[in-house]
Amino acid sequence: MARTVWDSSVGKKTVMAVSGLIMLLYLVVHMIGNLKIFFGPGEFNHYAHWLRTVGEPFMHYEWTLWLIRVALVVAVFAHATSAYQLSRRDIRARPNKYVHKKARASYATRTMRWGGIILALFIVWHILDLTTGTVHSGGFQEGHPYQNVVDTFSTWYGNVIYIVAMLALGLHIRHGFWSAAQTLGVGSRNRDRALKTVANALALLLTAGFLAVPVGVMTGLVS
Ligand code: HEM
């Protein structure tokens, strides 16, 4: 049964929609959490510490965080695998022998593919930058994310990488949210306008909320 669903294009699109919505939920929470940086190092670092102690005493230190990490890795993997397989199918099914020599995927499809690749690369960079500190520009300090974030946005390339990724994220969510709604059967003739508005608002809010952090550091509001 699961195999049949996974083998169908609708099944893969459903996997994309559900995993996308899980990641979207994470991003809304992450964006709001990031805005705490405007309340100063004490509050921001305390929040990061709280992320590791949520659920105590039932949960051990970092257990809840690890559960979230595992759910996110599964979501990213499911999203990327179904995207790759759908795009292989799309290429194979293209009637380019008869119609155009080079039939190209639609603008939205190409933007989603490139956006997805940019975001995947960004996530790897971002974790190496602010979670493990491997590629971090300053002296990475475990448990002091406030200073680490300030260091990241004190370099020109840190700003370029994050700003490009946030713009790609906005475009990806704008189209992705809309597609997910269609796949999950939420779309209808009278609802489509409202859905487009929600998709645009979500994309704009997330992009602006995330961008506020580098802009805050660049303008000296966060230092
Ligand atoms: C300006 C934008 C962003 C800033 C300032 C930022 C900041 C941070 C910081 C400080 C951490 C480390 C938290 C800690 O260890 O306590 C973190 C972790 C993380 N961020 Fe972001 N983030 C941004 C955008 C994003 C975006 C767009 C994504 C996803 C597409 C993302 C995904 C993650 C993930 C997956 C982690 C690792 C969580 C973990 O396993 O500990 N972030 N971020």
**46 C-beta closer than 6 A to ligand 1:** no
Using the mean position of ligand 1's atoms as its centre, give its distance from the Cα of residue 72 in Å.
Answer: 12
pLDDT in tens, 141-184: 999 999 999 999 999 999 999 999 999 999 999 999 999 999 99
Q: What torsion do the CA atoms of 205, 11, 78, 198 make, to the nearest 10 degrees?
A: 0
Structure tokens that stand for 105 in this block: 């995927």
CA distances, 97 to each of 85, 91, 103, 104, 107 (Å): 22, 12, 9, 13, 21
Rounded CA gap, 204 and 7, in Å? 34
* pLDDT score at 99: 58
The string over 176-197, giving b where at least 16 C-beta atoms fall within 10 Å of a residue's C-beta and e elsewhere, is: bbbbbbebeeebeeeeeeebee
pLDDT in tens, 24-35: 999 999 999 999
Question: In this model, does residue 96 exceed pLDDT 70?
Answer: no
* pLDDT score at 3: 84
Task: For residue 111, give the CATH number of its domain.
Answer: 1.20.1300.10
**126 C-beta closer than 6 A to ligand 1:** yes
Ligand 1, pocket-test mutation among 66, 123, 130, most atoms within 8 A of CB: 130
Q: Please count the structural domains in the chain.
A: 1
* pLDDT score at 71: 98
Rounded CA gap, 169 and 181, in Å? 18
pLDDT in tens, 44-74: 999 999 999 999 999 999 999 999 999 999 9
Q: Which domain holds residue 21?
A: 2-96+104-219
* pLDDT score at 70: 98
**183 C-beta closer than 6 A to ligand 1:** no
* pLDDT score at 101: 56
Q: What is the DSSP letter of 69?
A: H
* pLDDT score at 104: 66
**131 C-beta closer than 6 A to ligand 1:** yes
Please compute the mean of the pLDDT values over residues 108-137 and round it to a whole number: 95
* pLDDT score at 48: 97
The single-letter code of the amino acid at 74 is: V
Question: Of all protein residues, whose CA lies closest to atom 24 belonging to ligand 1?
Answer: 210
Using the mean position of ligand 1's atoms as its centre, give its distance from the Cα of residue 3 in Å.
Answer: 34
